[in-house]
């Protein structure tokens, strides 16, 4: 196909040779190299590809679009597949797509439109621009979008003081509001967990955390830092004139009818205040079946959390999905016959029927003090966001012994490590051995995008001892659905240790972690690495992902 570009006179043989050498050295897409080097323009290349695949190419720069047709396709679908409906023609819908060969996208469109779809090829930049213009999305505080996003400048240089009144006037200007809303909306659409707004000496860097990893999304002019940060601080109820100390706040808003909470954190840095927004969706229904358990582990997990008393621990590093697992457990346990109370820092999602309390250190409400109060509230089930100190650990274990089901988390790497951690906090081994009903250690790995997953050859020399556990390996080659990353979403890998009589005996003896791990292995408990490799065999994730989150173990 590359040679055909020369035949059609779109570039010379010398230009093609140069581009192919660059492709070999850099590993980039040949088409992108041709565009970067100026050998062809994007529309020439897209027009050529359209002819090659017998798909019409449409330039959207001045294309008339039927607004009523656009509204038939939900925004999340348009953004996911980078497409926009153009017009109705003979009972079919003409849709501009960045990848018109994506059968998944076309099938989803047919299901939504209940009509035949005629795809045409257009540039991803033009499609995304029209999506921003033609889709109306509900904004916080009933604000309206302008038709397009324009960057905002602010005259003050870094370090220049401005009064609170002046800052508020700047921060509530329509263009600043538009910019901040766009950052939030884009993060919401991309399923980001966090937005990082980071001032540098010459720019403001915008990064999103998607599927656990940070991705740079934009570089804004340095003058935008103060008005953007001030706008966010107004939304979060923070002091916009105070830039010398860290501040924390919370924003409640709705996007397309979906309630969303933003946790706001600011901290002074060398070049101004850095802001992190944590996106907390209020309507995420979390089921045990979505976590990634094997059939065997899902059965054990469900049976364990349905017990009337005892303590169940979920352990892992920050960002390993512990809270999500506990929310799934509470959702499964929840019933009108049970009084379920949680104490969290903070409450990340609301669960109907569960009494959720939040830590407030300024008011003297800690996990330990909250737990003391909860025990006077006639609870059946208690969820403690994290066991951080000796008092919380001891009270949690005593609550489990006295007839309550207690769920909580710890920061350790393995299931056995959670047991020794509680003993280190001062919990008597005989109390722990009689109250502990299960331990779950976990990590999160990125899932291979199902739209572009391909089987790849195993590198036996690199795998070493792991080669005996692997039969197949897959990777995502990248497509419009996954933003060319090859991944879409995350899934858990687990070590689920039910507490047998043999394990209880070892706990009473204060046995070392390795001894308790040995008892788990005798009982058929897989390590996190083994569970991860099994998910590699099933094509759910990659070897590199599993090694990335387990290599410290």
In a domain, 487, yes or no: no
The residue assigned the tokens 């954190």 is: 265
Confidence of residue 200 (pLDDT cuts 50, 70, 90): very high
Instruction: Identify whether residues 424 and 333 lie together within a single domain.
Output: yes
Average pLDDT in the chain: 85
* pLDDT computed for residue 259 by the predictor: 80
Instruction: Kindly report, residue by residue over 61-70, the tens digit of the pLDDT.
Output: 667 777 778 8
Instruction: Identify whether residues 314 and 224 lie together within a single domain.
Output: no
C-alpha distance from residue 210 to each of 244, 343, 483, 490 (Å): 30, 27, 11, 10
Chosen domain end from 260, 281, 302: 281
Instruction: Identify whether residues 108 and 141 lie together within a single domain.
Output: no
Out of 196-210, 332-346, 474-488, least confident range? 474-488
Instruction: Identify whether residues 432 and 302 lie together within a single domain.
Output: yes
Chosen domain end from 109, 132, 155: 132
Instruction: Identify whether residues 310 and 438 lie together within a single domain.
Output: yes
Confidence of residue 553 (pLDDT cuts 50, 70, 90): low
* pLDDT computed for residue 253 by the predictor: 85
Residue 392 predicted with pLDDT over 90: yes
Instruction: Identify whether residues 176 and 93 lie together within a single domain.
Output: no
Give pairs for 452-460: CB < 8 Å, separation 24+. Answer: 452/476, 452/477, 452/478, 452/479, 452/481, 452/482, 452/486, 453/539, 455/539
Confidence of residue 345 (pLDDT cuts 50, 70, 90): confident
Instruction: Identify whether residues 264 and 302 lie together within a single domain.
Output: no
Instruction: Identify whether residues 249 and 270 lie together within a single domain.
Output: yes
The Cα 458–Cα 471 span in angstroms is: 8
Better-scored residue on pLDDT, 475 or 482:
475
Any idea what the CATH number is for the domain that residue 429 is in? 3.40.50.300
In a domain, 44, yes or no: yes
In a domain, 455, yes or no: no
Instruction: Identify whether residues 329 and 435 lie together within a single domain.
Output: yes
The Cα 353–Cα 412 span in angstroms is: 31
Contact by Cβ (8 Å): 445, 451: no
Instruction: Kindly report, residue by residue over 2-32, the tens digit of the pLDDT.
Output: 777 777 777 788 888 888 888 888 777 777 7
Dihedral class, residue 114 (left if φ above 0, else alpha if ψ from -120 to 50, else beta): left
The Cα 427–Cα 131 span in angstroms is: 57
In a domain, 468, yes or no: no
In a domain, 61, yes or no: yes
* pLDDT computed for residue 138 by the predictor: 35
Token couple for 393:
């650990």
Instruction: Identify whether residues 142 and 213 lie together within a single domain.
Output: yes
Helix orientation angle between 501-508 and 513-522, rounded to the nearest 10 degrees: 170
Phi, psi of 218 (to 5 degrees): -160, 155
In a domain, 483, yes or no: no
Instruction: Identify whether residues 359 and 425 lie together within a single domain.
Output: yes
Chosen domain end from 281, 302, 325: 281
Out of 34-43, 85-94, 186-195, 284-293, least confident range? 34-43
Enclosing domain of residue 102? 2-132
Instruction: Identify whether residues 96 and 144 lie together within a single domain.
Output: no
Instruction: Kindly report, residue by residue over 225-255, the tens digit of the pLDDT.
Output: 999 999 999 888 898 888 899 999 888 888 8
* Number of structural domains in the chain: 3
In a domain, 511, yes or no: yes
Residue 373 predicted with pLDDT over 80: yes
Any idea what the CATH number is for the domain that residue 260 is in? 3.30.450.90
In a domain, 360, yes or no: yes
Out of 69-83, 273-287, 529-543, least confident range? 273-287
């Amino acid at each position: 196909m590359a040679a055909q570009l020369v035949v059609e006179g779109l570039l010379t043989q010398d230009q093609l040779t140069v581009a192919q050498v660059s492709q070999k050295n850099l590993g980039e897409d040949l088409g992108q190299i041709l565009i970067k080097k100026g050998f062809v323009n994007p529309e020439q290349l897209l027009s050529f590809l359209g002819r090659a695949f017998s798909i019409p190419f449409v330039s959207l720069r001045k294309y008339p679009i039927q607004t009523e047709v656009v509204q038939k396709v939900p925004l999340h679908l348009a953004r996911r597949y980078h497409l926009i409906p153009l017009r109705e023609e003979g009972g079919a819908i003409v849709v501009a797509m960045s990848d018109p060969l994506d059968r998944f996208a076309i099938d989803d469109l047919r299901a939504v439109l209940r009509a035949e779809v005629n795809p045409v090829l257009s540039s991803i930049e033009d499609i995304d621009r029209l999506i921003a213009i033609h889709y109306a999305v509900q904004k916080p505080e009933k604000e309206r979008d302008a038709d397009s996003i324009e960057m905002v400048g602010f005259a003050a240089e870094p370090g220049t003081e401005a009064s609170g009144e002046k800052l508020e006037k700047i921060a509530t200007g329509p263009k600043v509001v538009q910019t901040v809303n766009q950052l939030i909306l884009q993060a919401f659409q991309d399923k980001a967990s966090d937005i990082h707004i980071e001032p540098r000496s010459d720019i403001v860097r915008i990064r999103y955390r998607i599927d656990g990893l940070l991705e740079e999304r934009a570089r804004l002019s340095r003058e935008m830092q103060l008005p953007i940060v001030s706008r966010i601080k107004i939304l979060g109820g923070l002091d916009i004139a105070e830039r010398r100390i860290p501040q924390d706040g919370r924003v409640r808003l709705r996007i397309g009818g979906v309630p969303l909470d933003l946790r706001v954190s600011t901290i002074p840095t060398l070049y101004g205040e850095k802001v992190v927004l944590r996106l907390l969706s209020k309507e995420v229904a979390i089921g045990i079946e979505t976590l990634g358990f094997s059939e065997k582990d899902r059965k054990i997990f469900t049976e364990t959390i349905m017990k009337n008393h005892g303590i169940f621990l979920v352990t892992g590093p920050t960002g390993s999905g512990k809270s999500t697992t506990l929310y799934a457990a509470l959702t499964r346990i929840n019933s009108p016959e049970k009084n379920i109370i949680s104490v969290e820092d903070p409450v990340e999602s609301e669960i109907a029927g569960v009494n959720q309390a939040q830590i407030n250190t300024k008011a003297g409400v800690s996990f330990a003090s909250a737990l003391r109060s909860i025990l006077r509230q006639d609870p059946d089930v208690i969820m403690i966001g994290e066991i951080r100190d000796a008092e919380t650990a001891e009270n949690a274990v005593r609550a489990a012994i006295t007839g309550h089901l207690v769920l909580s988390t710890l920061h350790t790497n393995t299931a056995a490590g959670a047991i020794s951690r509680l003993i280190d906090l001062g919990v008597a081994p005989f109390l722990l051995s009689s109250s502990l009903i299960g331990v779950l250690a976990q990590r999160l790995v990125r899932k291979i995008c199902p739209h572009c997953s391909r089987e790849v050859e195993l590198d036996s020399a690199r795998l070493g001892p792991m080669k005996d556990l692997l039969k197949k390996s897959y990777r995502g080659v990248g497509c419009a659905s996954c933003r060319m990353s090859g991944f879409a979403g995350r899934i858990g890998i687990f070590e689920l240790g039910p507490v047998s009589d043999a394990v209880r005996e070892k706990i009473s003896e204060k046995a070392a972690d390795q001894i308790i791990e040995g008892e788990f292995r005798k009982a058929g408990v897989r390590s996190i690495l083994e569970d991860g490799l099994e998910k590699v065999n099933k094509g759910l994730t990659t070897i590199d992902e599993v090694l990335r989150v387990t290599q410290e173990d």
